C-alpha cells in the first residue's frame, strides 16, 4: 500500500536553509512531505514563515529523519477553499506524499482534514485554527502544532476585562476563523459585566475597511477587538490609525494582528496589546537557541508562524523516531506524538486528547518593532473539542 517500499532511484533537491544541491535518493529511503500552504495572497507571508520554520528543524537533523532523507512537494493553496480538495488529493494520489503539512486558512484545512481522514494520510496542521478539525473532524492521524481559533481570542477577552473595557465592538473577516475567534472572545468576557455591542465583518480577504471604521466611530465603544492576519492586518492597523481612532478607542486583538507584520505596520502599531501563544522576549533557553538559528538561516527574526512550522517538524521527527522511520506503523507514530512533550520555543506543551496544543496565551505589547511579552492572559488553556470521538486504531 505504501509507495515508500518501491525501489526507485531519482533525483531530489536536498535543501538546507541556505543552499540546495541535487542528490540521488532511493524512494524507500525518503520521507516525502507535502507542504500545502498559501504562498500567494493575504496569508502568503504566514505560509512562507511556516515553511521556513519546518525546514529549519529538518535541516538541524541533517535533512534526515529516522535515517531517511526528507523531500518536499510544495503546493500554493492560495487560501482558496474551492481549490483545496483538488490540491490535497493531488498530493495524496498523484505525488503519493507520506505526510501532509498544512495549512493556514481554516476553510482550506477542512478539505485537507477530510482527505487525510479518508486516506489515513498523516496530517500535521501548522497554523489553521478551526475548532472543528480537532472537534467533530478529529482523527488519530490528524495533529495540530499551532492553536485553536478560540484560544488567543479567549485570552483577548481576559485582557479586555482586565483593562475594564465594558462596551466592545468586534471586527473580523466573515469566515470560520473570524466566527470562532469571536466565540472565544465572548467566552473570555463572559460573566464580567463587559459585553460586545456589535460584531462587524467584511468578507475574506476584503480589505475595504472604511465603512466599518465609520460604524466604529459612530458606536463609540470603550474598545475594539479585531481578528485579521497577514497583509489584511497591516491594512487594518494602518487604516485604524489613519482614521484617528487609535487616539480615542483602544484596539486589541488576537496576536495575528501584529505578528510578523510590525515592520509594515510601523508607527500605527506602536503600543497595541494583543494575545497569542508566542511573544518576543520569552527568553527561555529553547527560544533563544531557536531565534539564533532562525536568524542565522534566514537573516531575520522568527514569528509565531515559524514556531508552528518548527514544532510541526519536531512532532513528525518524534513520531518517526518511534517506529524507526517505518511509515507503515502509523499507530506507533500516532501514539508517540500523542504522548510527547513538544519542546517548543513558545514554551513546552502537550497535546489534548483531540490532538491540539494545551498552552499558555501571552499578552504582548508592541514596542520598538517587537511584540513584547507582558504577562500571561490565560494559563494552560485547551480548546473546544466539541463532538470529537477519536476512532479506535
- Interface residues with ligand PHB (CB under 6 A) are 43, 104-106, 128-130, 149, 177, 229, 256
Residue 43 or 278: the one with the smaller Cβ distance to ligand PHB is 43
Q: Alpha-carbon torsion 171, 177, 182, 188, what sign?
A: negative
Minimum distance from CB of 47 to ligand PHB (Å)? Answer: 10
Q: Residue 207, SS3?
A: coil
Provide φ and ψ at 319, rounded to 5°: -60, -45
With CB atoms as reference, the residue minimizing the distance to ligand PHB is 229
Minimum distance from CB of 5 to ligand PHB (Å)? Answer: 36
Strand partners, 253: 226, 274
Minimum distance from CB of 289 to ligand PHB (Å)? Answer: 26
> What distance, in Å, lies between the first and last C-alpha atoms of the chain?
18
Strands 350-351 and 357-367: antiparallel
Buried-exposed string 217-244: b where 16+ CB fall within 10 A, e elsewhere: eeeebbbbbbbbbbbbbbbbbbbbbebe
Minimum distance from CB of 44 to ligand PHB (Å)? Answer: 12
Residue 153 or 293: the one with the smaller Cβ distance to ligand PHB is 153
Alpha-carbon distance of 60 to 164, in angstroms, equals: 46
Write down the residue that cell numbers 497569542 correspond to: 276
Provide φ and ψ at 93, rounded to 5°: -90, -40
Provide φ and ψ at 184, rounded to 5°: -60, -45
Residue 69 or 181: the one with the smaller Cβ distance to ligand PHB is 181
138, HSE (Cβ side, Cα atoms, 13 Å): 23
| Angle value at C-alpha 299, between 293 and 302, nearest 5 degrees | 60
117: CB partners within 8 A, 6+ apart: 137, 139, 141, 142
Q: E strands of 235-318, at which residues?
A: 251-254, 273-276
Minimum distance from CB of 256 to ligand PHB (Å)? Answer: 3
Minimum distance from CB of 228 to ligand PHB (Å)? Answer: 8
Alpha-carbon distance of 48 to 25, in angstroms, equals: 26
Residue 232 or 319: the one with the smaller Cβ distance to ligand PHB is 232
Residue 31 or 272: the one with the smaller Cβ distance to ligand PHB is 272
Minimum distance from CB of 3 to ligand PHB (Å)? Answer: 30
Residue 39 or 256: the one with the smaller Cβ distance to ligand PHB is 256
Residue 35 or 327: the one with the smaller Cβ distance to ligand PHB is 35
Residue 46 or 327: the one with the smaller Cβ distance to ligand PHB is 46
Minimum distance from CB of 120 to ligand PHB (Å)? Answer: 24
The helix (H) or strand (E) run that includes residue 240 is helix 230-242
Residue 47 or 382: the one with the smaller Cβ distance to ligand PHB is 47
Minimum distance from CB of 79 to ligand PHB (Å)? Answer: 8
Residue 193 cell numbers, joined: 459585566
Amino acid at each position: 500500500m505504501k509507495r515508500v517500499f518501491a525501489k526507485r532511484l531519482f533525483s531530489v533537491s536536498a535543501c538546507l536553509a541556505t543552499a540546495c544541491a541535487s542528490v540521488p535518493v532511493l524512494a524507500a529511503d525518503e520521507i516525502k512531505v507535502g507542504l500545502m500552504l498559501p504562498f500567494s495572497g493575504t496569508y502568503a507571508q504566514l505560509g512562507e514563515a511556516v515553511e521556513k520554520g519546518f525546514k529549519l528543524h529538518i535541516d538541524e537533523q541533517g535533512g534526515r529523519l529516522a535515517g531517511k532523507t526528507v523531500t518536499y512537494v510544495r503546493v500554493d493553496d492560495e487560501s482558496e477553499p474551492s481549490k483545496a480538495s483538488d490540491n490535497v488529493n493531488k498530493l495524496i494520489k498523484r505525488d503519493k506524499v507520506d505526510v501532509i503539512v498544512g495549512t493556514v486558512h481554516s476553510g482550506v484545512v477542512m478539505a485537507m482534514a477530510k482527505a487525510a481522514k479518508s486516506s489515513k494520510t498523516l496530517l500535521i496542521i501548522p497554523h489553521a485554527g478551526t475548532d472543528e478539525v480537532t472537534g467533530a473532524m478529529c482523527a488519530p492521524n490528524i495533529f495540530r502544532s499551532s492553536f485553536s481559533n478560540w484560544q488567543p481570542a479567549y485570552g483577548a477577552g481576559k485582557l479586555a476585562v482586565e483593562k475594564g473595557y465594558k462596551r466592545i465592538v468586534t471586527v473580523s473577516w466573515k469566515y470560520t476563523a473570524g466566527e470562532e475567534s469571536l466565540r472565544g472572545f465572548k467566552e473570555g468576557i463572559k460573566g464580567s459585566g463587559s459585553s460586545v455591542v456589535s460584531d462587524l465583518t467584511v468578507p475574506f480577504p476584503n480589505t475595504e475597511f472604511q465603512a466599518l471604521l465609520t460604524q466604529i466611530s459612530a458606536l463609540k465603544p470603550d474598545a475594539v477587538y479585531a481578528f485579521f492576519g497577514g497583509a489584511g492586518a497591516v491594512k487594518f492597523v494602518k487604516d485604524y490609525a489613519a482614521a484617528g481612532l487609535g487616539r480615542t478607542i483602544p484596539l486589541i486583538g488576537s496576536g495575528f494582528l501584529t505578528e510578523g507584520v510590525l515592520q509594515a505596520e510601523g508607527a500605527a502599531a506602536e503600543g497595541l496589546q494583543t494575545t497569542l501563544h508566542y511573544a518576543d522576549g520569552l527568553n527561555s533557553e529553547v527560544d533563544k537557541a531557536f531565534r539564533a538559528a532562525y536568524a542565522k538561516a534566514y537573516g531575520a527574526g522568527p514569528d509565531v508562524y515559524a514556531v508552528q512550522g518548527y514544532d510541526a517538524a519536531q512532532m513528525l521527527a518524534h513520531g518517526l523516531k518511534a517506529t524507526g522511520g517505518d511509515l507503515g506503523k502509523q499507530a506507533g507514530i500516532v501514539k508517540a506524538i500523542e504522548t510527547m512533550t513538544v519542546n517548543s520555543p513558545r514554551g513546552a506543551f502537550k497535546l489534548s486528547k483531540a490532538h491540539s496544543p494545551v498552552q499558555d496565551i501571552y499578552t504582548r505589547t508592541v514596542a520598538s518593532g517587537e511584540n513584547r511579552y507582558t504577562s500571561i492572559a490565560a494559563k494552560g488553556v485547551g480548546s473546544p473539542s466539541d463532538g470529537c470521538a477519536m476512532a479506535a486504531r
